[in-house]
């Protein structure tokens, strides 16, 4: 996975826990990505101009694209701390998340 957001390179290290102050969206992304083997590589925006430009395009108010209707793993600017999250804390936050709590219930009960 390539990103121009340098802190994500440290955040999404397979054997590290998600930082304690991570947003719900970041936690969801980490949960989704945990099913895959991947490496995170930082690519400066100046070397990836197309992705940088696409990430800055303004969306017209009131219009929802097909892309926005699909589940996504967008990572906004984040303030991160290097405090790990325990499994208990992650489970608690996953239960609080409306969408992921349904996924967990389906996985547990079918």
pLDDT tens digits along 55-99: 676 555 455 555 545 555 555 544 445 456 777 887 788 888 888
Residue 50 lies in a domain: yes
pTM over 0.85, yes/no: no
Residue 105 lies in a domain: no
Residue 92 lies in a domain: no
Contact 109, 47 (CB under 8 A): no
Residue 107 lies in a domain: no
Nearest CA-CA partner of 13 in 32, 77, 33 = 33
Residue 100 lies in a domain: no
The kind and range of the H/E element at 2 are strand 2-3
Residue 97 lies in a domain: no
Structural domain boundaries, residue 52: 2-58+73-84
Residue 77 lies in a domain: yes
Number of structural domains in the chain:
1
| Gap between the Cα atoms of 12 and 51, Å rounded | 19
């Amino acid at each position: 996975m390539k990103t121009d957001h340098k802190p994500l390179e440290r955040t999404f290290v397979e054997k590290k826990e998600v930082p304690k102050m991570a947003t719900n969206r970041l936690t969801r992304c980490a949960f989704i990505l945990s099913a895959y083997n991947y490496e995170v590589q930082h690519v400066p925006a100046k070397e990836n101009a197309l992705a940088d430009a696409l990430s800055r395009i303004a969306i017209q108010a009131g219009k929802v694209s097909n892309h926005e209707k699909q589940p996504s793993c967008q990572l906004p600017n984040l303030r991160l701390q290097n405090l790990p999250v325990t499994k208990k804390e992650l489970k608690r936050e996953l239960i609080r998340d409306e969408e992921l709590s349904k996924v967990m219930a389906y996985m547990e009960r079918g």
